[in-house]
Amino acid sequence: MVMRYATTSLLASIVLLGAMPAAFAQQQSFKRTEVFRGPLDGVPGKEIIVWTTDYPPGSQTPLHTHPGQEVTFVLDGAVVLEPTNPGKAPAGLKKAGDAWSHPMGEAHVAKNASQKDPAKVLIIMIADKGDPVASDAAKK
């Protein structure tokens, strides 16, 4: 009886420990790093914002929007774009070297296409001075 309990406990522990790396990878979050924000010459009230987004393996953004038109370039890895309105915004797999323009205010999710490799994108956006880089679309 004690031996059966010990064996069952050991097997359960092994299963849980084996699942931990996958659970941890799913909990890792993307990270935005603003690298530049400055006025857009000749256009009062507008500014250029430049940032990178790092995606650990298996991570994704929440559903969000941006307050201006953005141009995105994949630096490393690959991302999958899932817009709520695919007819108005780019969708699908984007690999290192790919670039696209995303319309202002169009809600989307961006995911790392890999469960084992990181991804990184560079974004340039023109928006009203002082606007946040992104807003949670689920709260709108």
pLDDT of residue 126: 96
Q: Which residue segments constitute the domains of the chain, with CATH numbers given? A: 29-139 (2.60.120.10)
Q: Which pairing describes strands 46-55 and 119-128: parallel, antiparallel, or unpaired? A: antiparallel
16-25, 40-49, 51-60: segment of lowest average pLDDT = 16-25
User: How far is 136 from 16, CA to CA, in rounded Å?
Assistant: 33
User: Which pLDDT value is given to residue 23?
Assistant: 44
pLDDT interval class at 13 (50, 70, 90) = very low
Taking phi first (over 0 means left), then psi (-120 to 50 degrees means alpha), and beta for anything else, what does residue 51 get? Answer: beta
Residue 52: strand, helix, or coil: strand
The 135-136 sheet, strands edge to edge = 92-95, 78-83, 108-112, 64-65, 135-136
